[in-house]
Structure 1
């Protein structure tokens, strides 16, 4: 994909339209997995600091893509795992959904920080996003490795160049994703909470 940012923003804006329907909102597994798959390239562009996230995220999005052949909606997919008492099993669709959701949320926070942080460094924005989403779920060893990798992050301009973007255009799409992904994170989080699953596991 030559310019992933516009496609990422558009995909999540389409999901947001579904969420805006209110109580009747039902996001399909296929649409969610497709939108999330577009984010994968971002982790690769961030370098070694998020290498762990790229590999883990990609494999779990692929699982959701396959699950779309069997389940039409995210609630139906979760309900299946609940009935089979497999929600928290390693490799379950619901467990993978939670891991993917964290990746979506991390990118959302990263983009928010990029928009409000001056200068050309990504260390501050990336560190804030990691600390808020991933850090509490990782061992001390992983946290230390990620911390060291933060010093190897590309600059903001290098990051945008990898994405084939100029800063002014990029900000529009970054804002588009940061705004539209928030309701998606809230929607999926609500699915977990409404089924008494929680999200801290």
Structure 2
């Protein structure tokens, strides 16, 4: 199971439209709900350029919200920003027609021997390896937001964040990074205070927003996980 909340019917997710915000800037609410446009209308193929744009928007928005949100994303965002730039170059490059969807990218790179399956070579990182790193970060975000949604009012955000990190990204980080991340999490406020800082309304409205947005994130994560597992790409060096 990739998500503990009832999945939104895939037809709705595929045909979802971007939700505009009444604020002058893109809010977390509209960012999360816009995840629905990552899914093509006719099948389960993921629109790669839109997915990359979404992740870029989340990173930008998180940094501009508050110091609190920024501290959470800082240990992930620096690496994620670099990965997003790599994918933007692929999606806009000479072979951009091969990067229309996640599935077309995997098919193209594997067929042309562009993926380092056993060990790193001196050539540029493949799209598959780059997306895998973003995919792992998305898993952490998914678990963290789900923990916020289902947590009690007096739940400690630091515990939710640490548990989510340990169940996802920590496996792939060296000890120094894991230690720094854990220390950063300790500065987080209580769950309700954090939900208010997210700037999407009351705590109840924030919980409702997460309940509406998480099924889309679960869909995208689940499709990517199954595709990469099928092609044995989940442990790329």
TM-score by length of 1: 0.84
Residue 212 of structure 2 corresponds to 176
Residue 102 of structure 2 corresponds to 74
1:29 maps to 2:62:
no
Higher helix share: 1
Q: Is the 8 A contact 1:33 1:64 kept in 2?
A: yes
Deviation at 1:162, TM superposition (A): 4.2
Alignment partners' CA distance in 1, 2:144 and 2:46: 24
**What SS does structure 1 have at the residue aligned with 2:28?**
helix
1:114 maps to 2:148:
yes
Which of the pair has more CA radius of gyration? 2
1:135 maps to 2:170:
yes
Gaps of 5+ in 1: none
Alignment partners' CA distance in 1, 2:105 and 2:205: 37
Size of the aligned set, in residue pairs, is: 197
Q: Is the 8 A contact 2:86 2:130 kept in 1?
A: yes
1:62 maps to 2:97:
no
Alignment partners' CA distance in 1, 2:209 and 2:72: 23
CA offset digits 1:151-195 (Å, max 9, x no partner): 122444554454322222222221222222112111011111222
Structure 1 vs Structure 2 CA RMSD = 2.5
Deviates more, 1:84-93 or 1:3-12: 84-93
Residue 161 of structure 2 corresponds to 126
Q: Is the 8 A contact 1:109 1:178 kept in 2?
A: no
Alignment partners' CA distance in 2, 1:92 and 1:188: 16
Alignment partners' CA distance in 2, 1:175 and 1:142: 30
Alignment partners' CA distance in 2, 1:9 and 1:123: 22
2:113 aligned residue (85, 88, 94): 85
2:223 aligned residue (168, 187, 193): 187
**What SS does structure 2 have at the residue aligned with 1:144?**
helix
Alignment partners' CA distance in 2, 1:173 and 1:115: 9
Alignment partners' CA distance in 1, 2:147 and 2:61: 15
Q: Is the 8 A contact 1:192 1:199 kept in 2?
A: no
**What SS does structure 2 have at the residue aligned with 1:53?**
helix
